[in-house]
Amino acid sequence: MHTWSLDDFELGDPLGQGRFGRVYQAKEKTSGKIVALKVIFKSDLRECKLEGQLKREVEIQSHLRHHNILRLYGYFHDKDRVYLILEYAARGELYKYLLKYKRFPERLAAKYIAQIADALAYLQEKNVIHRDMKPENLLLSENGDVKISDFGLAIHAPNQQRRMTFCGTLDYLAPEMVMSTGHDGKIDSWALGVLCYEFLVGEPPFADLDSEYNTRVRIAGVDLKLPHNISLEAKDLITSLLQYKPEQRLAVNNVATHPWILKYNVRIATALYKRVFMNEWTGDRDIEVNNFTETLNRIKHESVIEITRLEKFQSWGDGIELEHRVILI
């Protein structure tokens, strides 16, 4: 097994700076592969007593294999630093695009939510809770696919064990986290609902810039106000995820079959349509054929309207390509 060292890489431009170090673009000399090299100072880890957290992050992320989860290829260390060898996401943080464009068109938001949900479903299969889902922890690959990153707060929780640790970023916390009543993987479902709202509206649903306390109160009371300019299907998905009781939240592995996702993903819709009429749906994944057919008919009509609206959305400029009715970012 190869033992990595800094001599194996050519360092390029810095990609970003975090609390404990920097991330650089780097090229592995033998293969020429471009990676992201995260450099963390040991002194900072010791000072903040985060050695255990980093070890857990490496153990979890190094075992994950999903197209929409940032790959951790390996790690090494020297006297002063720890180095994480990560997959390179060429387009950087999704957050910077959200800041620039304020909000995303529904077609693009649906693409991102579908990809994030698929990755979260995979994490749940592996008994992993991310616990810090937010735009800053979502990266974009060169072809515009989402990559979930930063597993610093992630935890392995087999048998749906409830955890009591308070962690995460306030605007994305579920009621059970805010009230410290214990949490499980359903907090990631809640965060997905917050992300969906933020992608479409431009800000988290419960944020109060003047008062952190008010934000907590709004989260605990699920004080959700949905604007009129988002579709009924999007509103339904958001409210299905932002349920006070964790057990009532839409399961992330069912997000792909939600009408709002199907409306903008003809590939998924076509595959599901075939599976329905081949009687391959069983158990709690069964869906009503009549409702599904109605959804597909609505897709044909509403997609044309949405495509027309997107083509008039000139402010996207160089960040967006419209090609064969598919948006890439």
Catalytic residues: 132
Q: What gap in Å lies between CA 313 and CA 305, rounded to an integer?
A: 13
Q: Is 88 annotated as a binding residue?
A: yes
One-letter amino acid for residue 262 of the chain: L
CA distances from 292 to 113, 126, 270, 276 (A): 20, 30, 11, 9
- Euclidean distance between the first and the last CA atom of the chain, given in angstroms as a whole number: 37
Q: What angle do CA 177, 137, 23 make, to 5 degrees?
A: 135
Q: Is 42 annotated as a binding residue?
A: yes
Please name the residue that has the structure tokens 């990595």.
Answer: 4
| Cα–Cα nearest to 286, from 299, 297, 270, 275 | 275
| Cα–Cα nearest to 128, from 72, 210, 57 | 57
Q: Which two tokens stand for residue 7?
A: 């001599």
Q: What gap in Å lies between CA 196 and CA 216, rounded to an integer?
A: 19
Q: Is 38 annotated as a binding residue?
A: yes
Q: What gap in Å lies between CA 164 and CA 287, rounded to an integer?
A: 35
Q: 259 with 240: CB under 8 angstroms?
A: no
Q: What gap in Å lies between CA 27 and CA 31, rounded to an integer?
A: 8
| Cα–Cα nearest to 70, from 39, 50, 55, 92 | 92
Q: 287 with 293: CB under 8 angstroms?
A: no
- Name beta bridge partners: 148: 69, 138
As annotated, the binding site for ATP includes 19, 38, 42, 87-89, 136-137, 150
As annotated, the binding site includes 19, 38, 42, 87-89, 136-137, 150
